[in-house]
Amino acid sequence: MGDRLCYLFAVFILSICLSIGLSQAMATNGHLTATEYNWNLPDWTPKPVVPEDNPMTAEKVELGRHLFYEPRLSITGKHSCASCHKQSLAFTDGKQVAVGSTNENHPRNSMSLANVAYSPVLTWANPLMTSLENQALIPIFGEHPIEMGMVGKEQQIIEWMQNDPEYRQMFAEAFTEKQPVNINNLTKALASFQRSLVSFNSPYDRYRYQGDADAISAAAKRGEKLFNSEQTECFHCHGGINFSDSIQHENLAFTEVAFHNTGLYNIDGKGSYPPPNTGINEITHEAEDMGRFKAPSLRNIALTAPYMHDGSIATLKEAIAHYQAGGRTIAQGKWAGIGSANPYKSGFIKGFEISAAETNDLIEFLQSLTDEEFITNPAYSDPHLDR
């Protein structure tokens, strides 16, 4: 009898412990709390900075992945975020400029989303756009240009997400409020998925940070030296772990933000760029900001052609030639001008002497920044294809 009482008492204590543990694991709306997100970063890579009001969780990232590939977020039902940001192209689209759901050409080239979590400023030329949560509203609801074309359709979006059993469950798992399906949480989930798009496993990473001397070719090693030399000065604007001088992460005491005029245009001899692509001048209206754009990351750069904010340079070889000349000369036509003489051009764009062989070495180095794991990672792929 004594053994029986001891057994029952042990079961009673165990049930209390399980009940306490379960209670602690429940959120305010009765769902299990979200799972802490595993960044799966290499040891040498710092974590990105994440907003306090939108912590990363596995459930939120997975919901964001579904929404990123969701065509019902467009006016035509055929366009999604992934239409302009394809995984196989390092989340760019291969077009000179992006094309929206209504086939409207956009003024600028689609930027890569690789390591966007490390970028303190988003888009090519808006120093005020610093939040992925806020930025997500522009493609969905913006009108100039139209991307997804859903302005005025907020309630429609909420209703179809609430009526979809899968989305209703995913929102409830990712957010704790009683009515989790809303536009605010939609943007938080999209932002979380975009932050998860980290790329740090290129051959160059294995060579430079993991000690694999054979991970890149001898030509790429020569190209690295050229890239980091005062001869070419590439590293000034494309340095650090993300090959960009606009960077933020947990180990930095302050955020670094920079915009540059590279002498791509000089259409009136006074520094002008073709409208509406006037750089951050469009925001600041300051003359010296004419033609100043963000230096994008060079990670996966071999996959993200065409180049520059307007996609006006087709190949890596042409891009190197542009910097070699210290600015692009357009001999005739509407945008004719000598870019090297642009008065607002960055002091780093001086031009340099380089041989054909050295150009090939630079290209080899840039190609070594391609992360094959990143562009094939199923965690970043379209979940709707599995249906």
184 belongs to a structural domain: yes
- For 88-117, write each residue's pLDDT tens digit: 999 999 999 999 999 999 999 999 999 999
Q: Specify the CATH number for the domain of residue 288.
A: 1.10.760.10
Mean pLDDT value of segment 54-73 = 98
**What total of structural domains would you count in the chain?**
2
For residue 362, pLDDT beyond 70: yes
> 173: closest CA among 66, 67, 57, 71?
57
Cβ count near 52 (within 10 Å): 5
For residue 204, pLDDT beyond 50: yes
CA 266/CA 269 separation, integer angstroms: 5
Can you list the pairs that 28-31 forms with residues at least 24 positions away whose Cβ atoms lie under 8 Å?
A: 28/176, 28/177, 29/172, 29/176, 29/177, 29/178, 29/180, 31/172, 31/173, 31/176
- For 141-183, write each residue's pLDDT tens digit: 999 999 999 999 999 999 999 999 999 999 999 999 999 999 9
For residue 43, pLDDT beyond 60: yes
93 belongs to a structural domain: yes
Q: What is the pLDDT of residue 218?
A: 98
Q: What is the pLDDT of residue 386?
A: 64
Give me the percent of the chain exceeding a pLDDT of 70: 91
Looking at the structure, tell me whether residues 262 and 310 fall in a common domain.
Answer: yes
* Confidence band, pLDDT 50/70/90 cuts, at residue 34: confident
Phi, psi torsion values for 345, nearest 5 degrees: -65, 145
For residue 228, pLDDT beyond 50: yes
DSSP 134: H
For residue 73, pLDDT beyond 50: yes
Q: Give the residue numbers spanning the domain of 347.
A: 203-371
Q: What is the pLDDT of residue 14?
A: 40
Q: What is the pLDDT of residue 176?
A: 93
Looking at the structure, tell me whether residues 210 and 192 fall in a common domain.
Answer: no
The letter for the amino acid at 96 is Q
Q: What is the pLDDT of residue 387?
A: 55
Q: Which helix (H) or strand (E) holds 294?
A: strand 293-294
Looking at the structure, tell me whether residues 214 and 142 fall in a common domain.
Answer: no
- For 231-246, write each residue's pLDDT tens digit: 999 999 999 999 999 9
Do residues 298 and 144 make contact, with C-beta atoms less than 8 angstroms apart?
A: no
For residue 26, pLDDT beyond 50: no
Q: Which helix (H) or strand (E) holds 157?
A: helix 154-163
For residue 138, pLDDT beyond 90: yes
Looking at the structure, tell me whether residues 355 and 211 fall in a common domain.
Answer: yes
DSSP 34: P
Q: Is 198 left (phi over 0), alpha (psi -120 to 50) or beta?
A: beta
Mean pLDDT of the chain: 92
